Amino acid sequence: LASCDAALHANENEIFGLFVLEAMAAGLPVIGSHRGGVGELIDHSVGQPAQNVEPSGLAEAIDALFSRDVAAISQAARRRAETRHGWDATFEALARLYGQLIADRAPLALTA
């Protein structure tokens, strides 16, 4: 990934998109479907959503990305990966979830 200028994800049925996060963490703008998990991870600030994953739709998105400031988009992709999906953010969200689950749990009645 380090030698790439951008990452292309051509599956519009992707549920989450770990490849997308890895590419963004490497500082790559991502071109991918505006649908599914990829569509939830990318927007114009960190890449270029494609209207469809047909060759013509992907080609249009590639052209659109490289007509913009790719260096700035690359930096934004890296920042988003760090702030939204880094270990600190993931751990904080997980700890918050566990805290809510524990708080919502009814105390066990002790019987003798």
Q: What is the pLDDT of residues 47-105, one digit of tens each?
A: 999 999 999 999 999 999 999 999 999 999 999 999 998 888 888 989 999 999 888 87
- Residue 109 has a pLDDT of 63
- Residue 86 has a pLDDT of 85
Mean pLDDT of 8-23: 92
Is domain 7-104 classified as CATH 3.40.50.2000?
yes
- Residue 105 has a pLDDT of 78
Q: What does the CA dihedral 47, 50, 21, 4 come to, rounded to 10 degrees?
A: -60
- Residue 112 has a pLDDT of 61
List Cβ neighbours of 89 (8 Å cut-off, separation of 6 or more). Answer: 83
pTM, two decimals, is: 0.80
Mean pLDDT of 24-44: 95
Residue 60 to residue 100: CA distance in whole angstroms: 45
